[in-house]
Amino acid sequence: MYVFARRNVTNHFSDSSSPSPSPSLFHPDCHFVTDYFTRTPRKLNAFRSFASVELFHFSVPEDTVVAVWNLITFKEQGGTFGDSCPDRNVTVYFRAGAPPVINPLHTRFPQDTIVPGSFAVTLTWTLPNRTTGVFNVTSPLPGDWFLAAHLPKDEGKISVKGLYEECQYLFQPQLIVQRLIGISVLYPGYFIEQMVPAHNRSVLYKVFIPSYVSSVKVQLANCSTHPRDQPSRGQTRDRDSTGDSCSVVLKIRARAPPVHNSSALDCREWSPCELDTPLPAWEHWYYILVERYLSNQDVYFRIGVQVTDCSKSSASKGSPSSSSSGPSSNLNLPQSFGSAMGFSLSETLPSTPAGLPGLPSHAQNSSSLDPAGSLLSPQDSITHMAPSSDPHRCWPIRPTLRNELDTFSVHFYIFFGPNISVPPDRAAVFSINLMPVLDSGGVLNMELKLNLSSLRGENITVFGCLNHGMPLSLKDNSSVKCESDSVSGFLLSVNSSSNITKLRIPYPQTGTWYLSLRSLCATEHGFEPCSNMTAEVYLRSYLTPCINDCGTYGQCKLLRTNNYLYAACECKAGWDGWGCTDPSEAYSYSFQLLSTLLLCLSNLMFVPPVVIAVRGHYLLEASVYIFTMFFSTVSYTHTHTLTLIHTPKHTLSLTPPPPPPHTHTHRPTHTHILLPL
């Protein structure tokens, strides 16, 4: 049975009876649902800048195990099939969360610019007028996905328009996803009895990790090929049989089901089997996969999740056995689990197994793991929120105030800022929230300036770590790195010799970004915490449409594809690059001056026809020649004189314009709608 729905240009089908790729890989209670999405074909253009790229926006549902993009390209000429059109390769880029930042011409990026990674596929022609490509993604990240497609750069051939029909290359992407429904949900602080049947390869679970969590631990206990109530010969009832008989692998991944390179632990070598994930992503689902090795036996086990919550003190982090409130009552779970803020597990989960069959509390089933019967390990009595390099200490997070000035023109103000005091004994953490979809089409700018008068002669370096999803802390050792075992951020640093640093991220990921600042003193063996010395820095963070408004030799265009807005630079005078800062093929001053003078000289050739028309009393023809000569000269000289004014005679220097973007008005095309900035 098919269900059809149409939203704008998206066709959406749902087929719950479609065959799954591997039905035996997951729990038998799970079912596969196949969704189809398509987009209207669009004409592709030769690449000049990102403004000439066709951008497509898709949304991948949660719990998707496989996504297949069907890439269809065909030719048209004069309203019919373009069999005689030459074959031109089509390049398609993929990126999750924001549009891809591409550089097919290998031009220079502006200074201090971060280039996010993306996937690329080149389509070659298999038929005279049609070709199809397939791009598979196993366990894709849910949310927004963007595709950018273009033709190769034109070779610069000159042809007379109208002598023959133009060849058009049309591109249409289609998305087919298979998602899993019925995934078992784990709750922190509780164990459940589970098994992997002999006819199944693995079992998939998911657990929601709220904000202010410093670590996640997945525990697999009592693993055996026999049920607990039927112990094997020579095996006691209460024995934790995790060991040689527990032939499973434990995998975990954020936001999507695990893949081959996800964090994994072989449970044959550990008893009990515990997989730690420090500094997890906040406000996301974590997927846990229990995959058994090839055998024809059932595998029985108990599985639970432990989280270390930084938002509460150890006094209020009692185990379920000591309180009826359940595990960590202030875990901010999503609204589907209850209220939007301050959800308590006690409102849904009873603390006794009698109230919830099949979900025993850890207090009554933890004797094999902890003699004290407590799943949540005690922490120091610190009530702050951001995790630090020490797992038992947490730092407070300071929010920023969002001030929207215009489209992609947002300033993030710090309370009691912009001057910030960075204490010597802890990090200063700030959060910057980018709105979903709305802010991903601009540029995130970060500027950090060190106040030299606050150093008092000390050799202090202030390090900053900018990361998406969760704050990363800088450790107190000789090598300062902005990374963890699973993610990495962007490192900034200022000191007495270089007190200003900048960072630009085009098309940033939406969500919350965290900036952690730490002051360290340089020694012979590296860096160490400073003593009684507070550094002061000036922090400025803001969102702009383009980098430096595309400089002197470019124009910032605001483009739209369907309902998605994004900005891109369009360069002039031969300048290239993402911000029109690459002068490798720029026109020289003498060339621009010569071309302007030659055009004015060529327009003087209209003077003899005007004289002849006036003497013959052909006033209409004379006026047409005069208007053509006048406006051709004015329009060309006006455009190129502006470039010549900003171009010095001997050097080509870039002078960035004032911070507020200028307003540009352009003629719209059938694919991009250009809006004024």
Task: Characterize the bridge pairing of strands 443-450 and 500-506.
Answer: antiparallel
Mean pLDDT of 266-284: 88
Q: What is the C-alpha separation between 532 and 529, in angstroms, rounded? A: 10
Asked: is 3-181 a CATH 2.60.120.380 domain? The reply is yes
Beta bridge mates, 505: 444
Tokens of residue 293, six digits: 């090795």
* For range 84-91, the mean pLDDT: 89
Residue 528 has pLDDT above 70, yes or no: yes
371/368 Cα distance (integer angstroms):
7
Q: What is the pLDDT of residue 474?
A: 73
Each residue's pLDDT tens digit, 381-394:
323 356 655 555 67
Q: Give exposure, 143-157, as e/b (b: 16+ Cβ within 10 Å).
A: bbbbbbbbbeeeeee
pLDDT tens for each residue of 614-662 = 888 888 888 887 888 777 776 655 455 444 444 433 333 333 334 433 3
Q: Using alpha carbons, list the distances in angstroms from residue 343 to 206, 235, 338, 340.
A: 18, 42, 6, 7
Q: Are 199 and 58 in contact (CB under 8 A)?
A: no
The architecture CATH gives domain 184-309+311-364: Sandwich (2.60)
Least trusted range by pLDDT, from 66-80, 304-318, 335-349: 335-349
Q: Give the bridge partners for 119, in sequence order.
A: 94
Residue that is written with structure tokens 């991220």 in the block: 505
Predicted pLDDT at 321: 37
C-alpha span between 280 and 284 (Å, rounded): 9
pLDDT of residue 312: 55
Average pLDDT, the chain: 75
Give the end-to-end CA distance of the chain in Å, rounded to a whole number: 47
Contact status, residue 443 vs residue 545, Cβ threshold 8 Å: yes
Quick one: CA dihedral 490, 212, 286, 280, positive or negative? positive
Domains 184-309+311-364 and 392-544 share a fold: yes
Average pLDDT over residues 552-573: 90
pLDDT score at 639: 52
The three-state secondary structure class of 278 is: strand
How sure is the predictor about 296, in pLDDT bands with cuts at 50, 70 and 90?
A: confident
pLDDT surpasses 50 at 301:
yes
Residue 232 has pLDDT above 70, yes or no: no
Q: How confident is the model at residue 27 (pLDDT cuts 50, 70, 90)?
A: low
Tell me what pLDDT residue 348 has. 34
Burial class of residue 666 in the structure, from the number of CB atoms within 10 Å of its CB (0-12 exposed, 13-18 middle, 19+ buried): middle
Query: Residue 117 above 60 pLDDT?
Result: yes
Q: Which residue has the higher pLDDT, 639 or 515?
A: 515
Domain boundaries of the chain, sorted by first residue: 3-181, 184-309+311-364, 392-544
Q: Which of 282, 296, 277 is nearest to 219 (CA)?
A: 277
Angstrom distances, CA of residue 57 to CA of 74, 492, 560, 562:
20, 32, 11, 8
Paired residues of 66 in beta bridges: 138, 178
Residue 216 has pLDDT above 70, yes or no: yes
Q: Which CATH superfamily is domain 392-544 in?
A: GOLD domain (2.60.120.680)
Kindly report, residue by residue over 2-15, the tens digit of the pLDDT: 333 333 333 333 44
Question: Nearest to residue 304, comparing CAs of 364, 227, 243?
Answer: 364
Mean pLDDT of all residues in 504-530: 88
What pLDDT, on a 0 to 100 scale, did the predictor assign at position 636?
57
Contact present, 64 and 179 (Cβ < 8 Å): yes
Which contacts of 159-167 are long-range, i.e. CB under 8 A and separated by 24 or more positions? 165/77, 165/78, 166/77, 167/75, 167/76, 167/77, 167/82, 167/85, 167/86
> Considering only 273-277, 295-299, 349-353, 414-418, which range has the smallest mean pLDDT?
349-353
Distance of alpha carbon 48 from alpha carbon 186, whole angstroms: 50
Residue 126: per-residue pLDDT: 80
What pLDDT shows up at residue 673? 34
Average pLDDT over residues 104-115: 91
